[in-house]
Chains A and B, each alone.
Chain A
């Protein structure tokens, strides 16, 4: 069970490393994005004496850099892979392997993320510098919320892969998912700035665990009991998503369409 999955993860890793120039360009774009946010937020804070929402400018800049690094590193690839393989019929090979389809995809994603982290490594000092990040007081809380948030993110992308078995076409859904998830993850604005109903919605959705929650824990905006609560809710989301995935997969694999040709 483990060996084939490790193989799948290796393929994901190699896939990521094969498109080096793409990754380098997106790292440059990431640095530009962090710079843009830094300048805009500095201008916004310019005329203020007190810290809105209890966030100092320094903590906010550190938050934004981290949230963008995290979102960059965890952006899923498998919806694209699944979309391509369902459209061309190649998904047949995935399904004929003795290892389950969803574990295969999850392993591929894990390998791909690992490759992304490797490529990202040289950029991290730059981003940390541009974002003025200092060591955190809650390393364990940060690691825990981030790891669980990553699991949630992978499960959501698996959900999109499974939806593809019905719709056969997931390009638009993936694109929309990326937009919505980045926005509600709080990569440009911390969730605590979201006004009224939008704030309630952002708080209820699971996207915040991919950006806002871990990054806010890191900079100390969330602490103590709030961390424990976040971890508990994340575990709840994982359980719920697992049940949903299992139920959907039972139906999905019965209606597989192999498009040949």
Chain B
């Protein structure tokens, strides 16, 4: 327990240093956040423009889609804000930077996480929260708690997939293309009611790559639409726990692969 507290304290300190670093380049920070908002906003602009002509996508109204979109974006931001450095892992391995990380007396993953702050991702968080708050359906206390758990669970699902794939680069595989593609699938397909993609694609996006569990499944619970899902309602209610389980699994894979790490020697 003392170890966990110490790790968290050090993480907070390193993250504060990274934040101070990001604040040195004020204009870059502002442009980065604005670009993040514009990037995510242009994705939602598509939905908004289309729904001027069509009242529903797969039976979901504009407000419901906006809620789903906001839920996914907020979960995504919660994943990417602390883990944005993970994308550079290939480089850390290739340049031998990881050796230095391994020599320090702090959990290597925590050190990598604290390497830098994803500035543009603050824009993701901002856009996600705005959509979420504007489109939030009326919730009782229990549903509000579920909503919070869903955001965290969704973030953990994305983190788990990203961490598990990144672990492969410890065995000197070039993983960047696969990881970018997985990220792309999460952000492209995660914000729509999965039923529109047809049986096979929906199945793959639920059980092969768990995109559906980031936002679609929990949003269906909150919008009272569990009847449309391709998983039983109890599973849908437990979806935030899936994030925790997947993350635990991914962390095990990460630790395993880390034991097999061989420096490139550069």
A32 touches B (CB below 8 Å): yes
B131-190, CB < 8 A from A: 174, 177, 180-181, 184-185, 188-189
Whether A44 contacts B184 by the Cβ 8 Å rule is: no
Question: Contact size class for A?
Answer: 20 to 34
Residues of B within 8 A of A (CB): 31-32, 34-35, 38-39, 42, 45-46, 49-50, 52-54, 56-58, 174, 177, 180-181, 184-185, 188-189, 192, 196-198, 201
A contact face: mostly helix, strand, loop, or mixed? helix
Query: When the two chains form their complex, are residues A189 and B196 in contact, meaning their CB atoms are under 8 A apart?
Result: no
Number of A-B contacts (CB under 8 A): 69
Q: Known contacts A25-B181, A189-B50: does B196 contact A43 (CB below 8 Å)?
A: yes
Asked if B38 and A176 make an inter-chain contact with CB atoms under 8 angstroms apart, the answer reads yes
Q: How far is the CB of B29 from chain A (nearest CB, A)?
A: 11
A residues apposed to B, CB below 8 Å: 21-22, 24-25, 28-29, 32-33, 35-36, 39-40, 42-45, 47-48, 52-53, 172, 175-176, 179-180, 182-183, 188-189, 193-195, 198
Residue of B nearest to A41 (CB): B50
CA distance A28 to B185 in the complex (A): 11
Please name all residues of chain A whose beta carbon is closer than 8 Å to the beta carbon of B177 when the two chains form the complex: 21-22, 24-25
Contact B39–A179 (Cβ < 8 Å): yes
Asked whether, in the complex, the Cβ of A195 is within 8 Å of the Cβ of B58, the reply is no
Secondary structure at the B interface, as helix, strand, loop or mixed, is helix
19 A/B residue pairs, CB under 8 Å, sorted by A: A24-B177, A32-B184, A32-B188, A36-B188, A36-B189, A40-B57, A40-B196, A42-B196, A44-B54, A44-B57, A175-B39, A176-B38, A179-B42, A183-B46, A189-B50, A193-B49, A194-B49, A195-B52, A195-B53
A18 to nearest B CB, angstroms? 15
